[in-house]
């Protein structure tokens, strides 16, 4: 097939824009030989269970699914009765970027809390964690956290422990949207288990797509007492892959070794390079009028630009507005972002902000 796109075009819109890491592409090809039992009874899905145990400990179970929305909705459904509700930050992906799927498909109420840095605290959770036993109120039974958050910030292990203790004391379970969990681990310099299972998180949506996979996520049950029915809910939510070996093979390629960490470390480092380059330009006057709205702790940079600059920059580098009312944008780096990509983008920012 003749390529239909220019492979030299680069951008900072999303880590979903990147291609497939060559090692993962090779894993898919290796899994493609011969026949394997469908719907998860294959050697690759069995190996994925072993790999997840290596990372999260004995007794965990992984359910591969097609995408992050499917992982979040299906995982949360397994944690809730029909009358249950989820406490989450207003900026959480389940609230702003999943097209109502948690409510429409999952049948759950989202109880959101404003959080300028994307992070919940016990005090913020308590704004919505009330009314148990009140038949007129959806019952707050799960707290959903995002790590790293939608605005690129991170929870420390201690912060997560305080939240899970607080939630568990109130009879609530804790879900973690881990679409960029690997980026968080790379930044915190912690193994995956240290800020998930070890601090009391009950269920994780583990993301592979944003970290070099073609398309592969998994609901990982860390506490079996917090989740039930996933074997049925996955099919009910149209997330049961018949040729599951190809999803599992991707996640095995990521996690059975250090590829997940290498990819995340690189993406994070490119975000740091971008921020440092812009800061240096602001200091020497070659860049003007750019501000930063969030700490750069994972692979995203959140910034404000002078009027008109974003649209001019987007003629060469695609990226998204985050809050157009204040000229806030989001720049995301990927496992395949290069130093040359960053330097060219910084040069473009300098050119457009001083024009």
Predicted confidence (pLDDT) per residue in 15-45, tens digit: 999 999 999 999 999 999 999 999 999 999 9
Same domain for 82 and 191?
A: yes
Q: Do 211 and 306 have their domain in common?
A: no
Q: pLDDT class for 355, splitting at 50, 70, 90?
A: confident
- Report yes or no on 212 lying in a domain: yes
CA distance 197 to 21: 28
Is residue 32 domain-shared with residue 150, that is, in the same domain?
A: yes
Q: What is the pLDDT of residues 186-241, one digit of tens each?
A: 999 999 999 999 999 999 999 999 999 999 999 999 999 999 999 999 999 999 99
In a domain, 7, yes or no: no
pTM above 0.95, yes or no: yes
Same domain? 104 vs 52: yes
pLDDT at 76 over 90: yes
Which pLDDT tens digit goes with each residue over 310-352? 999 999 999 999 999 999 999 999 999 999 999 999 999 999 9
Tally of structural domains, the chain: 2
pLDDT of residue 190: 98
- Six token digits for residue 9: 């075009």
* Contact predicate 211/264, CB 8 Å: yes
Handedness of CA 88, 92, 342, 217 (dihedral sign): positive
Choosing from 221, 236, 257, the residue where a domain stops is: 257
- Percent of the chain, pLDDT > 70? 100
Is residue 17 situated within a structural domain? no
Please check whether residues 250 and 323 belong to one and the same domain.
Answer: no
Say how far apart CA 133 and CA 301 lie, in whole Å.
43
Q: Residue 347 belongs to a domain with what CATH number?
A: 3.90.1150.10
Q: Structural domain of residue 165, as residue ranges?
A: 24-257
User: Is the domain of 292 the same as that of 154?
Assistant: no
Residues 126 and 183 in one domain: yes
Strands (E) across the chain are located at 61-65, 84-89, 109-113, 139-146, 173-178, 203-207, 217-221, 291-292, 300-304, 320-323, 328-332
């Amino acid at each position: 097939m003749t390529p239909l796109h220019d492979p030299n075009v680069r951008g900072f819109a999303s880590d979903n824009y990147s291609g497939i890491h060559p090692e993962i592409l090779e894993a898919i090809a290796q899994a493609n030989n011969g026949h394997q039992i469908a719907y998860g009874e294959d050697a690759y899905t069995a190996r994925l269970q072993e790999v997840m145990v290596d990372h999260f400990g004995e007794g965990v179970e992984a359910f591969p699914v097609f995408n992050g929305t499917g992982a979040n909705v299906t995982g949360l459904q397994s944690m809730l009765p029909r009358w249950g509700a989820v406490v989450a930050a207003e900026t959480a992906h389940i609230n702003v970027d999943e097209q109502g799927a948690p409510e429409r498909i999952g049948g759950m109420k989202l109880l959101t809390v404003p959080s300028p840095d994307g992070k919940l605290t016990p005090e913020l959770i308590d704004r919505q964690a009330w009314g148990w036993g009140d038949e007129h109120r959806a019952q707050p039974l799960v707290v959903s956290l995002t790590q790293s958050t939608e605005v690129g910030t991170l929870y420390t292990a201690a912060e997560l422990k305080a939240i899970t203790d607080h939630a568990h004391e109130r009879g609530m379970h804790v879900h973690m949207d881990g679409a960029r969990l690997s980026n968080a681990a790379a930044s915190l310099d912690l193994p995956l288990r240290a800020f998930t299972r070890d601090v009391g998180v009950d269920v994780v949506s583990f993301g592979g797509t944003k970290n070099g996979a073609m398309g592969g996520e998994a609901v990982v049950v860390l506490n079996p007492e917090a989740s039930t029915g996933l074997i049925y809910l996955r099919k009910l939510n149209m997330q049961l892959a018949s040729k599951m070996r190809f999803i599992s093979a991707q996640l095995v390629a990521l996690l059975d070794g250090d590829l997940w960490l290498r990819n995340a470390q690189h993406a994070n480092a490119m975000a740091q390079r971008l921020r440092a380059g812009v800061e240096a330009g602001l200091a020497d006057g070659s860049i003007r009028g750019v501000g930063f709205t969030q700490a750069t702790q994972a692979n995203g940079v959140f910034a404000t630009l002078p009027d008109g600059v974003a649209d001019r920059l987007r003629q060469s580098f695609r990226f998204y507005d985050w809050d157009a009312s204040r000229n806030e944008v989001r720049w995301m780096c990927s496992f395949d972002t290069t130093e040359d990509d960053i330097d060219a983008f910084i040069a473009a920012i300098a050119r457009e902000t001083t024009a």
